[in-house]
Amino acid sequence: MNLKAKDFRNIAWSDLRGNWGSAALFYFLMFLILTACSSVSALGIVGFIGPIAALILGGPLALGFCVFGITVIRVKSATISDGFSGFRDFVRAFVAYLLIGIFTVLWSLLLIVPGIIKWYSYRMTYYIMADHPELSANEARKQSMEMMRGNKWRLFCLDFSFIGWLLLCGLTLGILSFWIMPYMKTAEAAFYQSLLPAPEAPADNAAPAAPTSGN
C-alpha cells in the first residue's frame, strides 16, 4: 500500500501517545548540546572547538534520534536512553555524519538542487545502520541511496506537509519545536518502515538492534 504524507503523520501522532514527554525532553537535550557547541564559538572561546564538537557529536545524536523514532514506531514506547544510544555506535555514526556532509557539500557545489537531492538520498542511512550493525557507514549510505530511488519526492512531500507546524514554531519563538521535531522524526521513521520489504520488516514490538561500537 502506497501511504501518503498524512498517513505517516497519523501513524506518528498515534504512536507518540505516551511518548511526547520523553521525545520532547530528548530533543531539548540534543538542542542544548548543539547550542552549547555553537555558543563556544560565538563567545570566541577557542573558535575551532565549537564546530569540531558539533561535528563529533552530530553523528551519534542523529543516529540516536532515528533509533528513538523507529523504536516508537515498532514498540510504541521509547526512552531517553534510546535517543542517546547512538553513542554506543560512535565510530560508525561519526563516519556516516562525515560522509553525508562531505558528499552533500560536493554535490551542492554543482548546484543547490543536486545537493538537496543527494541529501534526500542519504536520509535513511541512520535507520539502516540501526537495523544492520554489520554494515559499515558507507555501505549503509549506499543502501540508503538504493532505498530512496523513486522515493525522494514522497519524502519531500512528507517534509513539506509539516510547513504549517513549522510556521507555528516560529510564532512560539521555537518552543513548539521541542514537540514538532520529534513528531517529524517519528513520521520519517514510519516512512522508513514502509520501505522495508515485507519479509524483512521486523515483527511488531521488535525494537531495532542496539547500536554497537565499531566501524
C-alpha span between 31 and 61 (Å, rounded) = 10
E strands in 7-99: none
Is the predicted pLDDT of residue 84 greater than 70, yes or no? yes
Average pLDDT in the chain: 88
pTM of the model: 0.87
- Contact 43/37 with Cβ under 8 angstroms? no
Domains in the chain: boundaries: 5-189
Q: Note the pLDDT tens digit of each residue in 87-128.
A: 999 999 999 999 999 999 999 988 889 899 999 999 999 999
Please spell the DSSP secondary structure of the chain, one letter per residue: ----HHHHHHHHHHHTTTTHHHHHHHHHHHHHHHHHHHHHHHTTSSTTHHHHHHHHHHHHHHHHHHHHHHHHHHHS---HHHHTGGGGGHHHHHHHHHHHHHHHHHHHHH-HHHHHHHHHHTTTHHHHHHH-TTS-HHHHHHHHHHHTTTTHHHHHHHHHTTHHHHHHHHHTTTTTHHHHHHHHHHHHHHHHHHHS-GGGSPPTT-PPPPP-S--
Residue 206 dihedral angles phi and psi, to the nearest 5°? -105, 120
- Contact 136/89 with Cβ under 8 angstroms? no
Give the model's confidence band at 44: pLDDT under 50 very low, under 70 low, under 90 confident, else very high.
Answer: low
Instruction: Determine the angle formed by the axes of helices 137-147 and 90-110, rounding to 10 degrees.
Output: 50
Is the predicted pLDDT of residue 12 greater than 90, yes or no? yes
